[in-house]
Amino acid sequence: MVRSGIALAILTMSSATAALAADEAVSIEAGARIAVMGGCHDCHTSGYAQSGGKIDPANALKGDGVGFQGPWGTTYPSNLRITVTKMDEDAFVSFGHSFQARPPMPWFNVHAFSEAELRSFYRYVKSLGEPGEPAPAYVEPGGKPVTPFIVFAPPQMPAQ
C-alpha cells in the first residue's frame, strides 16, 4: 500500500515538473506575451498606451522620444531592437540578469525573469525586424531636453 502511495507521489511530482517545463518553453510567442505582461511596450513602444494596447509590429520596442525627467536627469525608453542586435542570445541572458539602468526603468524586475523568459523575449525582439533609430540620448540633471518629457518628481513638502 505504501508503494502505490509513493508511486502516486512520484507521478504527481513528475506531472508538476512536466507542467513547469512546459511553462518554461522558449518561443517567440512566449516572448511576445512576456513583453506585454512585463510592461515592456508601455514605455518602449511609442503610442502603445494611447492605442489601448494595440501593438504595431513595425513600431514595437523601438523606444520612444518622450522622456522621463526627475532628479536623475531625463531618460528615454531605449530601442530594444538595437539592444538585441548588439549581442547573441547567451549574452542577452547574462545582460538581462545583471544590467542596471536609470529611473524609471525597473531593471530589478528584469533580473527576476527566468532564463527561458529572457531567451523568449530576445527571440521575440529579434523577430520584429529592422532595428530603426536609437532613442534620444540621456540628458544630465539641469540639462534641457529637446523633446517632450514627463516629470517624475516628488512634491516638496512645506517646512514645518
pLDDT along the chain (160 residues), means of 10: 41 42 80 97 96 95 97 97 97 98 96 98 97 97 96 80
Domains of the chain: total: 1
Q: How far is Cα 65 from Cα 43, in angstroms, rounded to an integer?
A: 10
In a domain, 106, yes or no: yes
In a domain, 130, yes or no: yes
In a domain, 53, yes or no: yes
Q: Could you tell me the CA-to-CA distances from 150 to 65, 67, 147 in Å, in that order?
A: 11, 6, 10
In a domain, 13, yes or no: no
Residue 159: its pLDDT value, please?
A: 78
- Domain with 103, as residue range(s), is 25-64+78-135
Residue 23: its pLDDT value, please?
A: 52
Q: How far is Cα 155 from Cα 160, in angstroms, rounded to an integer?
A: 15
In a domain, 16, yes or no: no
In a domain, 112, yes or no: yes
